[in-house]
């Protein structure tokens, strides 16, 4: 699941959403921790409402040492590194170079330009 942190997305995945998932569902969260209601996720994982989850982002971040999520055997906790690859640096440099050229030529909008009105 990848969604921006934007109005209306806070705790978008909550107990009601977990109840709609299949029991063998695996939730993968790699965008923003605020999208998933972590208390509801813990309940869903403990009760077997869903099979498992893998999270790379948390609310708050880093995940506090006393979080109940640490003790769940059916949860993979990652340190906010899911977006990185060996090609990431090249990708960022290529996008910057292209956007600099577009900006200097007056070609707007730039690639991947944030829309402040939408919040991302």
Has 88 been annotated as catalytic?
no
Pick the catalytic residue from 5, 59, 68, 80.
80
Has 90 been annotated as catalytic?
no
Has 80 been annotated as catalytic?
yes
Pick the catalytic residue from 61, 88, 90, 107.
61
**Beta strands, E only, the chain:** 26-29, 52-55, 75-77
Cα torsion 60, 69, 53, 18 to 10°: value is -90
**Beta strands, E only, 3-119:** 26-29, 52-55, 75-77
Active-site positions?
A: 32, 61, 80
């Amino acid at each position: 699941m990848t969604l921006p942190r934007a109005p209306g997305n806070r705790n978008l995945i909550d107990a009601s959403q977990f109840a709609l998932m299949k029991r063998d569902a695996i939730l993968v969260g790699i965008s923003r921790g605020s999208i998933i209601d972590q208390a509801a996720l813990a309940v869903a994982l403990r009760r077997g409402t869903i099979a498992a989850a893998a999270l790379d982002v948390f609310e708050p971040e880093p995940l506090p040492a006393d979080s109940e999520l640490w003790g769940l055997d059916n949860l993979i906790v990652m340190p906010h590194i899911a977006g990185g690859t060996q090609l990431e640096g090249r990708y960022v440099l290529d996008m910057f170079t292209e956007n600099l050229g577009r900006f200097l030529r007056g070609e707007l909008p730039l690639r991947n330009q944030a829309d402040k009105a939408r919040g991302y």
